[in-house]
Amino acid sequence: MRKLTADYIFPLNRSPVKNGILIIDDYGSIIDLLPNERKECMTEDIEVFNGFLCAGFVNSHCHLELSHLKNLIPPHVGLDNFIASLEQLKSTSNYDDIISGMESAEEEMIKNGIVAVGDISNSSDSFRIKETSKLVYHSFIEIYGSNPEQAENIFDSALALLKKILANTSNNKASIVPHSTYSVSQALFKKIREFAEENNSIISIHHQENEDENLFFFNKTGKIVERMSRFGVDISEFKANGQRPIESVAGFLPEASNIQLVHNTVSVDKDISFAKNNFSKMYFCLCPNANIYIENKLPDIKLFFESGAKITIGTDGAVSNKDLSILNELKTISQNYQDIPLHELLRWACLNGADFLDIYDTFGSFEKSKIPGINLIENVDIQNISLTKESKIRVIV
């Protein structure tokens, strides 16, 4: 048994506890969280830390498979140029480099206090690592295809990948998901929705990374149309409807499932309200450092906060970020939106992510019997209960 105390402990299912005492067993399971006034009668063997204690982080959106491409695409090139460079680099990737990149990325995430990951999988490349990983993964088998005649074959290939990972990685979960609002035919969307409804699957989908996605649905113009043409993708079946992306695909998303919209860089109040009002289990994933890396733009995070949206935090992949650190994502948010309390940011990074990935029983907060991991955030502003530019993570459990 261990007894831990710090300047503030963030249980995240309730308010922060100043100088509280966190009691855990030898396996890291939470036994109790006591207030400061109990400290006097428990002075022996208390481990004292300077800073904030919180649960292990949940990285709700990552691209582990692309880790070997770190630093190969320069920042601020824009999404269209980023995708073009990415596809070219992927076509010449070496398998050994792919494995080595994933191993390095996973080690980086563990050192940065991440305990669980929502990971995009376009192939089986990451499955071997996930079999023995210290991290808990939910693999999103991501598919795309605009030709409705290919929908059945595309879905069958995804189903084969799903069965493969579920057969070999008993500690992890997986589901079949659409890549984005604009890259999936209606026929393929229907197959994904039907499968999700039958299996109570979790859905994660890229959403509104830039204005081109809006233009595509408004009037079928913009760089997405040009990109599809360059890649030889037939989008003749697609008809612009003048609606916003989430409105356009709402009928193809399973209403009862946990659904996560990822990036939301150009989302406005109308998008957020529609998504919240039409789906009871809707989450909005923010990857601020990746948004800056690719588009040099942040979402209107205060808008999401004030709307009461369920927000999660992701790092995106190493190819689109300087590092895989949830804390650095929170530092970017706090530096740009100083009015958002740290307690709320940590809820996004821990509790909401665990809730979305359906691992709430184990992760996300300091509640009795959970084994959530324990992070110490050092070099903090104690008086204002906030992060600083020098804040860093030390993994305690």
Tell me which CATH code domain 57-324 carries: 3.20.20.140
Look at residue 291 in the predicted model and tell me its pLDDT.
98
Cβ atoms 117, 67 nearer than 8 A = no
Look at residue 171 in the predicted model and tell me its pLDDT.
73
Look at residue 249 in the predicted model and tell me its pLDDT.
98
Look at residue 36 in the predicted model and tell me its pLDDT.
78
Look at residue 40 in the predicted model and tell me its pLDDT.
56
Euclidean distance between CA atoms 237 and 228, whole angstroms: 13
Look at residue 138 in the predicted model and tell me its pLDDT.
97
Counting every residue written for the chain, the total comes to 397
139-156: per-residue pLDDT in tens? 999 999 999 999 999 999
Instruction: Enter the tokens of residue 356.
Output: 């979305």
Residues lower than pLDDT 50 in the chain: none
Euclidean distance between CA atoms 52 and 6, whole angstroms: 6
| 306-337 exposure pattern, b = at least 16 Cβ within 10 A, e = fewer | eeebbbbbbbbbbbbbeebbbbbbbbbbbeeb
Instruction: Enter the tokens of residue 310.
Output: 């369920």
Cβ atoms 131, 169 nearer than 8 A = yes
Domain ranges of the chain: 2-53+384-395, 57-324
Look at residue 168 in the predicted model and tell me its pLDDT.
78
Euclidean distance between CA atoms 261 and 283, whole angstroms: 6
Euclidean distance between CA atoms 278 and 250, whole angstroms: 8
